[in-house]
Amino acid sequence: MTDTIKPSAGPSRGRYRVMVAARTLLAIFGGYGLAAIATAFLSLTLPLDRSEAVASATLASFAIMAGAVIWVFSARSLGRAAIGLALPALCLGAGLWLALGSAGQPA
């Protein structure tokens, strides 16, 4: 995705722009979504006092988002990038759903 090979012809240039826009949107919303789910999941499940779990998870969340964004822009194709975000997000989301279900009872 370097600049040096940027196609200058009409249709492929348009395609390049669409691809950049798609990756950017995926990086922002996908990366944030993954980080948000991970933060909520870790806050509920880390074996610490709950205030400690929230502090640790929130501190780590931005590193998680940064990692996700780097992944989106380095993946070989947009599809791979999306799957790479969706899989962990689904796993964490399932875990979060379970954790939220048991959050009523003290662990």
Closest separation between CB of residue 5 and another protein, Å? 8
**CA–CA separation, 102 vs 62, rounded Å?**
26
CA separation, residue 105 to residues 10, 24, 34, 92 (Å) = 60, 40, 26, 20
39, 85, 89, 92: residue in contact with another protein (rule CB under 8 A): 39
Binding map of another protein across residues 43-82, x = CB under 8 A, - = no contact = xx---xxxxxxxxxxxx-xxx-xx--xx--xx-xx-----
Q: Are 73 and 23 in contact (CB under 8 A)?
A: yes
**CA–CA separation, 26 vs 97, rounded Å?**
23
List residues near another protein by CB under 8 A: 1-5, 19, 28, 35-37, 39-40, 42-44, 48-59, 61-63, 65-66, 69-70, 73-74, 76-77, 96, 100, 103
